[in-house]
Amino acid sequence: MSSRSLTTDLRALGRRAVAAVRAAPAWLGGILTGLQGLALSYLAVLAPSLAVAASAPQNGVGGADWAGASSVATSLWLLGHGVPAEVGGTVVALIPVGLTVLNGAILAALARRFAARTWGSWVLAVATYAVGVGAMASVVGSPSQGAHVVTAVIVAVALAAVGVAIGIWRAHGADLSALARVPAWATTGVRRGAAMASLLVMLAAAAGAAAAVAGRHAIGEAATALGLDAVSAGVLAIAELAYVPTLIVWMVAWLTGQGFAVGLGTHYAPGDLSVDALPTVPLLGALPSASGGLLVWAPMLVAIAALAVRIAVRRPLLTWREDLAADVVAACTLCLVMATAFVASSGAAGPGRLEAVGPDALATTAALLGLTAAGLAVGAAALRAPAALGALRARAGASRSREAPTAS
C-alpha cells in the first residue's frame, strides 16, 4: 500500500520549489528578495485594514468598503516610506517608525533566505524594492507630489540597503577584513557611538514605560471611550505599536531636556509641562504627565550614559590624541543617528494644532551633543588622571633626587 498523502506531496513540492530557487542564478535571488519584500510589507498593512472593513457594520447592499480599506492601507504603507498620507482630507506626515523597522526586518529575513552573497544580488534587491515603492508612490499620488516620490525612493533605498545587507551577512557571514585598514581610533569611536545610542534608547524606553504606568488610567479611559469591537481594537493596538518607536524617540528628546510637542502650544520636558486637549488615542495617555522636582536632573542621565560608555569601551594602546579623535567620532556618530531619528519622528499628525508634532531636531541634537561631550570629557579625564598623576609624582621624585646631593 502506498504511503503517499497530501501532506507528503506538499512537502515534496515545497522542497522542489526551494531547490529550484537555490539553483537559479544569483541575481535572481536579489530580484525575488525585492519583490517579496514589497508584497509582504504591503500585506502586513493591508490585512488589518481589510479585517476592519469586514467587521464594520454593513449599510445597504454594497457590502464592505474594500476599496476604501485598500486605499487607507496603501496610504499607511507609503507613510512608512516617508510619503505624507491624506486621510479624510487631513494630511498626516508623522512617520510610523515601527512600520519602517518592520519593513526592514522583512527584507532582512527574505535576504537571508533568497539573496546570494554577491554585490549584484544586493544591488538588484535594493533596486527592485526602491523601484516598486517609487512606482506605488507615483501611481497613488498626484503629479504635483513629485518630491514625495523622490522621498519614497530615497527612504526605500536606505531601508533596503541596510535590511538586505543584514540578511546576507546573517546567512553567509560578513568579510570584515577591510576594517583592518581602518584606524583603531575610528573603529573605537564608532563602537562608542553605537553603544551610546543603544544605551540612550534603553533609557528612553524605560522612561516611556514609567510614563505609561503613570498614565495607565488615561490609557484605559481613552480605550473605553472609543467603544471599539474586538477586531477594530486589535487593529488599533497594532497601529499604535507602529508608533511606539516614535514615542521612544520623543522620550530621547525628553531626556535631553529639550522635550517635544504634541500640537501647537504644548511642551513635554523634564522642567516644563504644557498640555492641551489631545485626540482620543490610548497611546497618547503614555505621554509624560509630570515635570519639575527631581525630573529636572533627567538630562544628567545622558551625560552619565556617555561617561559609562567612555569608561567601558576603551583601547589602552591609543594615545590621548587618538582617544580624543575617537570621542569626536563617537559624538558625531551618536548625533547623526539621533538627528535622523528626530527628523523622522517629527511632522504633522492632523489638522490645526496637530500640524506641529515631535521634537525640534536642531535644538535637541545640539543639547545631546553638549551632554555627550561633557560625559565623554569626564570619562576621559577619569581614565587619564591616574597615569597623569603617576607621571607627575615620578617627575617630582626625580627632581627631589637630583636636588638632594646638591643640598648635601
Q: How far is CA 83 from CA 91, 136, 346, 349, in A?
A: 10, 11, 13, 13
Among 126, 158, 175, the domain boundary falls at: 175
In tens, the pLDDT along 265-324 reads: 889 999 989 888 778 888 888 899 888 889 999 999 999 999 999 999 888 778 888 888
Cα–Cα distance between 334 and 279 in angstroms, integer?
33
Among 175, 196, 224, the domain boundary falls at: 175
- Expressed as residue numbers, the domain containing 134 is 19-55+64-175
Among 142, 175, 208, the domain boundary falls at: 175
Grade residue 59 by pLDDT with cuts at 50, 70 and 90: low
Per-residue confidence (pLDDT) for residue 3, from 0 to 100: 59
Q: pTM value?
A: 0.82
Do 42 and 122 have their domain in common?
A: yes
pLDDT at 1 over 50: no
Look at 327 and 279; give whichever has higher pLDDT.
Answer: 327
Do 110 and 250 have their domain in common?
A: no
218-225 contact pairs (CB < 8 A, 24+) = 218/285, 218/289, 219/282, 219/283, 219/285, 219/286, 220/282, 220/285, 221/285, 222/280, 222/281, 222/282, 222/284, 222/285, 223/282, 225/280
What is the domain count for the chain? 2
Closest by alpha carbon to 351, among 144, 96, 148, 88? 88
Do 266 and 376 have their domain in common?
A: yes
Do 144 and 222 have their domain in common?
A: no
Asked if residue 4 is part of any domain, the answer here is no
Lowest mean pLDDT, pick from 38-42, 169-173, 225-229, 298-302: 225-229
Per-residue confidence (pLDDT) for residue 141, from 0 to 100: 60
Lowest mean pLDDT, pick from 6-20, 188-202, 205-219: 6-20
Do 77 and 150 have their domain in common?
A: yes
Do 240 and 344 have their domain in common?
A: yes
Asked if residue 344 is part of any domain, the answer here is yes
Q: How far is CA 402 from the centre of its chain?
A: 62
Do 103 and 233 have their domain in common?
A: no
Asked if residue 13 is part of any domain, the answer here is no
Asked if residue 3 is part of any domain, the answer here is no
Q: Average the pLDDT over 180-201 and give the result.
A: 91
Handedness of CA 324, 330, 331, 333 (dihedral sign): positive
In tens, the pLDDT along 337-354 reads: 999 999 989 888 777 778
Do 34 and 134 have their domain in common?
A: yes
CB-CB contact of 253 with 364 (8 Å): yes
Per-residue confidence (pLDDT) for residue 73, from 0 to 100: 85
Do 153 and 197 have their domain in common?
A: no
Conformation bin of residue 130: beta by default, left when phi > 0, alpha when psi is -120 to 50: alpha
Asked if residue 5 is part of any domain, the answer here is no
Average pLDDT, the chain: 84
Do 144 and 257 have their domain in common?
A: no
Asked if residue 1 is part of any domain, the answer here is no
Q: Average the pLDDT over 372-398 and give the result.
A: 75
Look at 73 and 109; give whichever has higher pLDDT.
Answer: 109
pLDDT at 357 over 60: yes
Do 164 and 252 have their domain in common?
A: no
Per-residue confidence (pLDDT) for residue 60, from 0 to 100: 53
Per-residue confidence (pLDDT) for residue 20, from 0 to 100: 61
Do 169 and 36 have their domain in common?
A: yes
